Structure 1
Amino acid sequence: MMKDSTQYNRNSDIPDPEYFFKQFEEEERKTIERVWDVSEAIHEDEVLPTDEEVEQALSAVHRRIDDKHFFIGQWKWFAAAALVLIVFGAGLFLIPQTERAPYGETAKVVLSDGTEVELNSGSEVQYNLLYGWTNRNLQLKGEAFFDVQQGDQPFIVYANKSAVEVTGTQFNIRAWGEASSGETEVTVTEGSVRFYPSEYPGRSVILTQDQQSRWSVNIEQPTAPKTAQADRILAWRDRKLAFDQQPLSVIFKELERRFDVDIEFKDLNMANDTLSAFYATPEGAESIIKDICRVKGLRYAETANGYRIFK
């Protein structure tokens, strides 16, 4: 690697900003310098650059990353260092980008690498501005189906203190936060994934097509892979409802998210009672609540915002 003082700081391996700026066209350079100037003065109460300015700067760097000749054999290293200079220096690296599906709706997100994420009602994913360039990491709260594009970097989803790692495949993760055990359920429909507690990567299991595994904070390792009923597990993608021996407390939370209603259920003695059911064309929350109450010997009443369920 060259060590000319016009290109590098002699006291470190960080490229000199002035040398870096000169590699861009005038308009691109102005935007990048604006972001960098603010990053140096961030503790002096300067106004942060706009999201548009940051995106422009990162896009300009990304274009240079694609030009292998520009970096003269060191393009990967230089690209990573440049991105850190621009984004981490401004503290923007740590600002998560969030995509949500509101209650009563689902949402589809296409990430910068072409990966598609379908979010179930009340779910969200977060990732940082360098997704697709220096990492492909996401944080999931709720449930989502992933169609991951192949890439040089592993695609990792963190959820409920667990991690799912792949390179290119299709799978579903269910990781709602209401369960005290923090259970995560992974179902693979194509390819394979590695599933493990995020703090203990060595305690992993490999899942392949039509296999499922679960992990929660009270067990050391994800359960051994078993054959999954993918059509029932993925029923939510077609706006169907499927419950497989789910506790009533979990089912009612699912109905809250799906139909955007409040359901008051405080009978702790029955909260863990389980139920299996399938609705190909669910008509609404009340019809399902009525069915559940009939089967479980419960009653319900309509409230201002939803329903109250009692014995």
Structure 2
Amino acid sequence: MQENEQEQKWYLAAKYLTSGLDQEDQPEWEALKDDAQFQEDFAKLRKHWHTFETLPYQQIDIAEGWDAVWNRVKEKEKPQRKFSVPAFVRYAAVIVLTLVSSFLLWQWIGNTQSQSGAEDVLTTIEAPTGSTSVVTLPDHSKVWLNAGSKISFTKNYGITNRNINLEGEAFFDVIKREVAFQVHTQAQDITVLGTAFNVKAYSDDPKVVTTLVRGSLKVKPKASAAKEYLLKPGEKLAIWKDKLRMGLPAGELQTQIDTEVETGWKDGWLAVRGESLDELARKIERLHDVKIIFETEQLKQYRFSGRIKQLSLEQVLKAMALTSPINFVIQEKTVTLKENTSTRSKYRSLENVQTK
């Protein structure tokens, strides 16, 4: 029982240091203020937390990184009092794990370089297919990564630049600094000082979509004569890749949009508005790491609006089957969608099918 209580204390400490406490965690966290021993240990750990952030961006070794934090604490304290080292090492893993909803992959890219070329070394953070992740960057900006997405940045991020390369979808909550924050995708460059916005830039999608929640940002399509856009809160810009390649006007700006539809994924919602089943299937494939096969092409034309909590794959498919003329068969990592002929007459292709 005592061990479980300790685990819970450091689980809350982990959330406090990384992704932040939820509202339901607050009463339990407040109660820990009366735990003098925990507060003393937590204060020392928090004091040296930034040691972990300043480690070289190589492939992260969790035990090695937290040894560095622990050693710094011991250097300051010397032998007056001895901490329980196994507890800190064990809870270090918990703290690192709370950075992501499933797991976070740090990857070293490139060959060993000289000190003069260190700024070219990239750190890559990835949310593999089937998982989502959240990470705090060195400048304390936060990034939520959707399934099958990754960001990369140089060693000098937060010092001489704040440039992020994005593949996939991410929500950014940017801390304002003098150095501009920039996001680069295959189709556009985004510049901002401090704001919150979503970018969807999967390689297999026909367009790159940027949605502004608050603040302001500048979007420049990657074409020499392309128009530059200044987005306001509640606006969404789609850049069509095929038009961009042909040198045609590629931007499509929408105003007064529901930002929750575009950003709900980071809070565990699968939200859509007027999307085809083909588009929705791609989202489900990334979220659950499966391949979806359509028995007929006609099925792809059904359209959905609404939102579903991101539960298990089977639960999501059952919710869709209750509100549309489809059946499904799951075989390992393959899902086959079929038309339900007995309910087909209730629906018409291209009409919105409401999910609940």
* Cα distance in 2 between the residues matched to 1:87 and 1:115: 27
Alignment of 1:111-260 (within 5 A): 111-179=137-205, 181=206, 183-200=207-224, 203-219=227-243, 220-260=249-289
TM-score by length of structure 2 reads 0.57
Aligned partners of 2:152 and 2:165 also within 8 Å: yes
Q: Does 1:96 align with 2:122?
A: yes
What residue number does 2:307 align with? 278
* Cα distance in 2 between the residues matched to 1:200 and 1:85: 34
What runs of 5+ residues in structure 1 fail to find an aligned partner? 1-48, 53-83
Q: Which SS does the other structure have where 1:227 is aligned?
A: coil
Shift of 1:218: 3.4
Aligned partners of 1:207 and 1:225 also within 8 Å: no
Shift of 1:125: 0.6
Aligned partners of 1:261 and 1:305 also within 8 Å: yes
Aligned partners of 1:204 and 1:221 also within 8 Å: no
Aligned partners of 1:204 and 1:222 also within 8 Å: no
* Cα distance in 1 between the residues matched to 2:313 and 2:222: 36
Shift of 1:135: 2.0
Aligned partners of 1:102 and 1:121 also within 8 Å: yes
* Cα distance in 2 between the residues matched to 1:194 and 1:296: 40
1:303 to 321, 331, 336: 331
1:192 partner letter = S
Aligned partners of 1:264 and 1:309 also within 8 Å: yes
* Cα distance in 2 between the residues matched to 1:87 and 1:253: 43
* Cα distance in 2 between the residues matched to 1:133 and 1:260: 37
* Cα distance in 1 between the residues matched to 2:332 and 2:242: 38
2:316 to 275, 288, 304: 288
Aligned partners of 1:157 and 1:164 also within 8 Å: yes
Shift of 1:283: 3.5
1:302 partner letter = I
* Cα distance in 2 between the residues matched to 1:212 and 1:233: 9
Alignment of 1:9-28 (within 5 A): none
Aligned partners of 1:184 and 1:214 also within 8 Å: yes
Shift of 1:229: 0.5
Check 1:235–1:216 CA distance in 2 against 1; reply closer, same or farther (3 A cut).
same
Aligned partners of 2:166 and 2:183 also within 8 Å: yes
What residue number does 2:77 align with? none
* Cα distance in 2 between the residues matched to 1:131 and 1:272: 44
What residue number does 2:29 align with? none
Shift of 1:242: 0.5
2:284 partner letter = L
1:187 partner letter = T
Larger radius of gyration: 1
Check 1:143–1:204 CA distance in 2 against 1; reply closer, same or farther (3 A cut).
same
What residue number does 1:56 align with? none
What residue number does 1:79 align with? none
- The C-alpha deviation readout for 1:211-242, integer Å capped at 9, x for no partner, is 22211123424223411201222211210111
Decide which structure has greater helix share: 2
Shift of 1:202: 5.1
Q: Which SS does the other structure have where 2:335 is aligned?
A: strand
Aligned partners of 2:144 and 2:170 also within 8 Å: yes
Aligned partners of 1:195 and 1:222 also within 8 Å: no
Aligned partners of 1:117 and 1:145 also within 8 Å: yes
* Cα distance in 1 between the residues matched to 2:306 and 2:122: 37
Shift of 1:203: 1.0
* Cα distance in 2 between the residues matched to 1:51 and 1:304: 35
Aligned partners of 2:171 and 2:198 also within 8 Å: yes
Aligned partners of 2:153 and 2:164 also within 8 Å: yes
Aligned partners of 1:262 and 1:307 also within 8 Å: yes
1:308 partner letter = T
